[in-house]
């Protein structure tokens, strides 16, 4: 009888128990870690973990501070899954009706009327789930508000911290107007170029929010992230930046300001207008000075020279669109110089308040340098009128304080929500986001701007939206 090849033991000897327990614990832990890893690698975050850049506008993939896999897993679980659960959510506070302490309503600025025009394409058809399914193909994320809570479904990463600050802006709106922001479901893209071409999407206009639009697009403009701060280039929240620019602009009297047209920016952004602008760089011939903004250098010197409030030294300031629309418009107008705006194609939500030769000077892109020269000559011949034009531009931006920015968001969202023919409900892939979870992901600079731009409940109701203009 051959001896067994190995001795099988039906029972584990008792002295091996600790080892078996240790081994199974180890396997269990390994399995759990594997599961967690899997789970974490599928969790998309407001800063862009596990998200690719938008295919329609490529940019370098994001890198993250936390170096180890463990660090990343810990952060994602902590910020995405645990933070909102453990915050202090008080439904009474969240759903509280607006306080009746101050019911004085003011009329919204006239440019709020654009809300009706922007939403006109859906007045007859309403906005259906099918619209959202189609619009999702062009969206970086989806924002769903239900019962005063914010849910976000993330599809693509946004450049820099745009997604973080835009999601923050929704959270602040909810904080400012508890109980009155309606349930809503909206698709959002955070890149610069509008994509819903009116001709191509004529048969089914798609509702897609972004920071700008053109007359040829259905894209719906929404206040851009920089009102809450642009941490990468040290532009502070608007409620701090505007008063500072305005104060800076009074450091010199009109007569003391340099009587030439000034532009400083990045000319290398595939913008024909900016390239052409380089040809006007001659103060003697064209009355213009065109300067290159070197952000890398500015970052090294702590952005001291690029400080916006110290950039109001000229009587004329040129605005040139970049790759698409440019955030710089509001800072240029804030200066109180005559804004020389080169035939703009793109509109953002407030630029519909611009009136040519009233609160800005319209420059002809097809006759660029001579057109700039004419503006400068006119202003130098009519200093009082030029100063008044500059002041009206600054006043437009003063009208646009954060109260009004939130009011615009409120009315836009409310009017949009009225058009929905379904009851918003967050999809299973969406995650609740709260102020604490956004802050959880923020780096030091972002945290400072987020905290600085936090809203508090309004004592007054939103301004009154003018009714749609009668057409025909």
Ligand X SMILES: *[C@@H]1O[C@H](CO)[C@@H](O)[C@H](O)[C@H]1NC(C)=O
DSSP assignments along 243-308, one per residue: HHHHHHHTSS-TTTSEEEEEEEE-S-SS-HHHHHHGGG-BTTTTSEEEEE--HHHHHHTTTSTT-G
Interface with ligand X (CB under 6 A), residue total 13
Rg (CA), the chain: 27
H helices present in 41-161, as ranges: 69-76, 91-95, 114-119, 129-135
Q: Between residues 136 and 281, which has the closer beta carbon with respect to ligand X? A: 281
CB of 217 to ligand X, least distance (A): 7
Q: Is 199 a binder of ligand X (CB under 6 A)?
A: yes
* Ordered strands of the 314-319 beta sheet: 288-292, 258-265, 314-319, 338-342, 361-363
H helices present in 220-271, as ranges: 238-249
| Cα–Cα distance for residue pair 350/147, rounded to 1 Å | 29
Nearest to 138 by CA among 187, 211, 75: 187
Residue of the chain from 281, 293, 343, 401 that contacts ligand X (CB under 6 A): 281
Determine the 3-state secondary structure of 433 from DSSP. Answer: strand
Residue of the chain from 58, 102, 129, 452 that contacts ligand X (CB under 6 A): 102
Instruction: Provide the angle, in degrees to the nearest 10, between the axes of the packed helices 383-399 and 368-381.
Output: 110
Q: Between residues 58 and 102, which has the closer beta carbon with respect to ligand X? A: 102
Residue of the chain from 19, 107, 133, 291 that contacts ligand X (CB under 6 A): 291
Q: Per-residue x/- mask for ligand X, residues 342 to 381, rule CB under 6 A? A: ----------------------------------------
Residue of the chain from 200, 367, 421, 443 that contacts ligand X (CB under 6 A): 200
Instruction: Provide the angle, in degrees to the nearest 10, between the axes of the packed helices 383-399 and 238-249.
Output: 160
Q: Is 216 a binder of ligand X (CB under 6 A)?
A: yes
Q: Please choose, out of 124-132, 194-202, 325-333, 334-342, the segment that lies near ligand X by the rule CB under 6 A.
A: 194-202
Q: Is 459 a binder of ligand X (CB under 6 A)?
A: yes
Residue of the chain from 292, 297, 382, 445 that contacts ligand X (CB under 6 A): 292
Q: Please choose, out of 89-97, 202-210, 288-296, 407-415, the segment that lies near ligand X by the rule CB under 6 A.
A: 288-296
Chain position carrying tokens 């020269």: 373
Residue of the chain from 290, 327, 368, 386 that contacts ligand X (CB under 6 A): 290
Q: Between residues 104 and 253, which has the closer beta carbon with respect to ligand X? A: 104
* Token pair in block for residue 127: 């906005």
Residue of the chain from 27, 90, 129, 197 that contacts ligand X (CB under 6 A): 197
Q: Between residues 9 and 104, which has the closer beta carbon with respect to ligand X? A: 104
The footprint of ligand X (CB under 6 A) covers 102, 104, 197, 199-200, 216, 278, 281, 290-292, 459-460
């Amino acid at each position: 009888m051959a001896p067994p090849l190995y001795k099988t033991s039906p029972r584990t000897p008792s002295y091996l128990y600790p080892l078996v327990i240790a081994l199974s614990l180890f396997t269990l832990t390994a399995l759990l870690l594997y599961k967690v890893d899997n789970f974490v690698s599928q969790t998309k975050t407001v800063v862009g973990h596990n998200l690719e850049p938008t295919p329609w506008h490529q940019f370098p993939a994001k890198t993250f501070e936390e170096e180890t896999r463990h660090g990343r897993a810990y952060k994602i679980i902590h910020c995405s899954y645990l933070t909102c659960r453990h915050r202090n959510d008080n439904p009474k506070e969240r759903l509280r009706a607006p306080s009746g302490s101050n019911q004085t309503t003011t009329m919204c600025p006239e440019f709020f009327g654009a809300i009706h025009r922007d939403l006109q394409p859906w007045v007859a058809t309403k906005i259906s789930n099918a619209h959202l399914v189609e619009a999702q193909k062009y969206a970086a994320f989806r924002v769903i508000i239900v019962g005063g809570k914010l849910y976000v479904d993330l599809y693509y990463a946004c450049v820099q911290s745009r997604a973080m600050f835009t999601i923050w802006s929704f959270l602040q709106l909810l904080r400012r107007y508890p109980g009155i922001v309606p349930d809503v479901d909206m698709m959002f893209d955070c890149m610069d170029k509008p994509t819903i071409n009116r001709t191509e999407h004529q048969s089914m206009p798609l509702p897609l929010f972004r920071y700008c639009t053109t007359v040829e697009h259905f894209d719906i403009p929404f206040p851009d992230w920089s009102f809450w701060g642009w941490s990468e280039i040290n532009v502070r929240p608007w409620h701090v930046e505007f008063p500072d620019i305005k104060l800076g602009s009074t450091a010199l009297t009109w007569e003391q300001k340099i009587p030439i047209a000034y532009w400083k920016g990045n000319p290398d952004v595939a913008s024909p207008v900016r390239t052409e602008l380089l040809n006007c760089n001659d103060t003697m011939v064209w009355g213009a000075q065109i300067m290159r903004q070197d952000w890398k250098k500015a970052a090294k010197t702590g952005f001291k020279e690029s400080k916006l409030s110290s950039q109001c030294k000229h009587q004329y300031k040129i605005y040139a669109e970049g790759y698409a629309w440019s955030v710089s418009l509001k800072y240029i107008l804030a200066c109180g110089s005559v804004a020389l705006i080169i035939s703009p194609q793109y509109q953002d939500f407030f630029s519909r308040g611009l009136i040519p030769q009233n609160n800005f000077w319209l420059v002809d892109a097809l006759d660029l340098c001579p057109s700039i020269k004419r503006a400068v000559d006119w202003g130098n011949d009519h200093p009082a009128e030029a100063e008044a034009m500059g002041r009206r531009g600054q006043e437009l931006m003063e009208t646009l304080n954060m109260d009004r920015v939130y009011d615009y968001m409120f009315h836009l969202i409310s009017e949009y929500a009225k058009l929905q023919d379904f009851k918003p409900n967050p999809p299973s892939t969406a995650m609740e986001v709260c102020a604490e979870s956004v802050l959880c992901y923020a780096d030091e600079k972002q945290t400072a701007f987020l905290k600085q731009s936090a809203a508090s409940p309004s004592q007054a109701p939103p301004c009154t939206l003018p009714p749609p203009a009668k057409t025909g």
